[in-house]
Amino acid sequence: MIHLQGVSVVYPDGTRALSGIDLQVDRGEFAFLVGASGSGKSTLLHLVYRELTPSEGRVIVSGQDVASLPRARVPYLRRNVGVIFQDFRLLPDKNVWENVAFALDVLGASRKEKYRKVPLALELVGLSEKEQSFPNELSGGEQQRVSIARALVNSPSILLADEPTGNLDPDISWEIMQLLTRIADRGTTILCATHDRVIVDGMRKRVVSLVGGTIVRDARGGGGYDEP
Amino acid sequence: MNLSMVEFLLQQTWQAIRRNGLMSLATSSNMAVALLILSTFFLATLNLQHMANVEARKANITIDMADDADAAKVEAELWGDMRVGEVRSRSKDEALEEYAEIMGGGDTEEFLAALGDNPLPNAFIVRPKDPQDMAAIAKAARSIEGVSDVRYKEQVTGKLLTLARGIKIAGVVAAVLMSAATLLIVSTTIRLTIYARRREIRIMQLVGATNSFIRLPFILEGAFHGVMGGAVSTILVLASYSWVHAYVGQHLNFMELVYNSTFAVLFGLGAMVCGILFGVLGSAIGLHSYLREI
């Protein structure tokens, strides 16, 4: 599903963000990317949704070489890759329903399609009751669930999460992780960058550790933050 | 592009215009002022040219003949000049009738009685193909045997054409300056809209909206300012122009202005189209410099 081969990223100022990355994440797999700030976690995610192109190597997503994708084709890649962030990135002047529907609006979905898909996504994240609320009326966990609903409403086969629990309390973080697990169980590939040790240790999923832009450990069978 | 897409785009555009209310008003107003100035220059040039053409059609040279001249020979020589478009002969009697008419429509007999004999010469009235050749034709005609005098009005036509040319040049300069200012203002407004909507744009990019879909509301916003500016300037220009037309008709009726309903409609459409072009181009400039990456 996601396949990086010999990938390096060097920023224009000469900073080497990633070097010699080989990584394969299969369909429906849930993997954590762990490491300190600046270890290259976010850079790796950026490669998958073509926010960045690698300086060397190949990035293959759903069988497509993302680096050589013409710019005009990037939107179509992104329809297949949902992304969520630490800061949720919701639109403050739109309510929950509208925030989720926005992802369909910009793809020209019909009214009928929206009324079919938005309630399903909200039900999946457990926010059916709050569809009329505005982001500022929601807790951090609820806001993150809205952003997950928005990322999933187009049924992408990949969900990238960049520090999804960075702004959340431990209890709420745990709820979000349970939600992501349920999503992975439905067949969505999840790649989650985090430095939340408690979460990673508790989940016992695959853990890919990055240090200084290289993979130092890949606990494929499931592991904790530090130990195999 | 389906109906819900169109609905969404229009909604986005309208929201952006409303959100930047004052700036939108300033942009539409500026567009109106720019089009107003351009329209004024256009109308002035158009009318001066029109008047010059009307005058040019009246322009002619009167070639008086000596009493003993061979009319046929003179006429043949006049026709020999390639610049001559028309030669009409006017006899002494016709000249007197015209004179009598100009003097108040009296009977020619009375004039003859007063003058004793008809002092007016037989003449040819020559109309040049191009009014610019007036002086050259007159000069050539003077040397024809049997011609006693050559007269033509020192041309207003030339002066009108010179004036029209001057106004056209000033108009072009004003057009260039105003266009640049308008484009600058529209593109700045669009940049502000882009800035105000950067979060939405970012999310649109993330969920896979195409670049053209992201750009379209901004282009529509530019076009909106063009339509508004075009409409306002057309109303103002046509209202004042019809007043000028009425005034000229009443007080300066030797002047003739271009004016009819087809002209008004075409003028309005022209202003609208210019406005839309300005708006769209301004948006494109704003988008180009701020959204290069999308």
Confirm or reject contact between A198 and chain B (CB < 8 A): no
pLDDT at A115: 95
How many angstroms separate the CA atoms of B141 and B67, rounded?
17
- For domain B60-152, give the CATH number: 3.30.70.3040
First to last CA, chain B: 20
CA distance A52 to chain B (A): 12
Q: pLDDT by residue (tens digit) across B123-179?
A: 888 888 877 788 888 888 888 888 888 888 766 666 767 777 787 788 788 878 878
B197 closest CA partner among A106, A72, A43: A106
CB of A98 closer than 8 Å to CB of A131: no
- Which residues of chain B are within 8 Å of residue A77 when distances are taken between CB atoms? 208
| Confidence check: pLDDT of B44 > 60 | yes
Which residue has 């999310």 as its token pair? B203
Are B208 and A76 an interchain contact pair (Cβ–Cβ within 8 Å)? yes
Regarding predicted confidence, which is higher, B199 or B273?
B273
pLDDT category of residue B84 using cuts at 50, 70 and 90 = confident
Regarding predicted confidence, which is higher, B252 or A173?
A173
Q: pLDDT by residue (tens digit) across B206-232?
A: 888 888 888 888 899 889 999 999 999
Q: Please report the residues numbered 64 through 93 in chain B whose beta carbons come closer than 8 angstroms to any beta carbon of chain A.
A: none
pLDDT at A189: 95
How many angstroms separate the CA atoms of B128 and B285, rounded?
51
| Confidence check: pLDDT of B197 > 70 | yes
Are A78 and B213 an interchain contact pair (Cβ–Cβ within 8 Å)? no
Confirm or reject contact between A106 and chain B (CB < 8 A): yes
The whole-model pTM stands at 0.71
Q: Which amino acid is at B147?
A: V
| Confidence check: pLDDT of B38 > 90 | no
pLDDT at B294: 43
Reported ipTM: 0.85
How many angstroms separate the CA atoms of A187 and A121, rounded?
15
The full 3-state SS of chain A, as one line of letters, equals: CEEEEEEEEECCCCCEEEEEEEEEECCCCEEEEECCCCCCHHHHHHHHCCCCCCCEEEEEECCEECCCCCHHHHHHHHCCEEEEECCCCCCCCCCHHHHHHHHHHCCCCCHHHHHHHHHHHHHHCCCHHHCCCCHHHCCHHHHHHHHHHHHHCCCCCEEEEECCCCCCCHHHHHHHHHHHHHHHHCCCEEEEEECCHHHHHHHCCEEEEEECCEEEEEECCCCCCCCC
Q: Which amino acid is at A15?
A: T
Distance of CA B63 to the CA centre of its chain: 35
Regarding predicted confidence, which is higher, B192 or A124?
A124
pLDDT at A60: 95
Instruction: Spell out, as residue ranges, where chain A has pLDDT lower than 70.
Output: 227-228
pLDDT at B105: 65
From residue A112, alpha-carbon distances to A51, A118, A119, B4, B265 in Å are 32, 10, 12, 10, 43
Confirm or reject contact between B210 and chain A (CB < 8 A): yes
Question: For A146-164, b where at least 16 C-beta lie within 10 A, e where not — what string?
Answer: bbbbbbbbbebbbbbbbbb
Q: Which amino acid is at B160?
A: L
Regarding predicted confidence, which is higher, B91 or A44?
A44
How many angstroms separate the CA atoms of B147 and A51, rounded?
90
pLDDT category of residue B1 using cuts at 50, 70 and 90 = low
pLDDT at A183: 92
Mutate to test the interface with A, among B199, B200, B206, B211 (most CBs of A within 10 A): B206
Secondary structure class of B127 (helix, strand, coil) = strand
pLDDT at A185: 92
The residue of chain A with its CA nearest to that of B204 is A106
Size of chain A, expressed as the number of residues it contains: 228
Q: Which of B138-142, B192-196, B285-289 has the highest mean pLDDT?
A: B138-142
| Confidence check: pLDDT of B195 > 70 | yes
Confirm or reject contact between A110 and chain B (CB < 8 A): yes
B256 closest CA partner among B160, B177, B190: B160
Q: State both tokens at A93.
A: 């002047």
First to last CA, chain A: 24
pLDDT category of residue B291 using cuts at 50, 70 and 90 = low
Rg, chain A, Cα only: 17
A19 closest CA partner among A206, A192, A210: A210
Q: Which of B100-109, B116-125, B262-271 has the highest mean pLDDT?
A: B262-271
Are A154 and B208 an interchain contact pair (Cβ–Cβ within 8 Å)? yes
Is the backbone of residue A89 left (phi > 0), alpha (psi -120 to 50) or beta?
left
Q: Which amino acid is at B65?
A: M
CB of A189 closer than 8 Å to CB of A24: no
> Which ranges in chain B are annotated with CATH 3.30.70.3040?
60-152
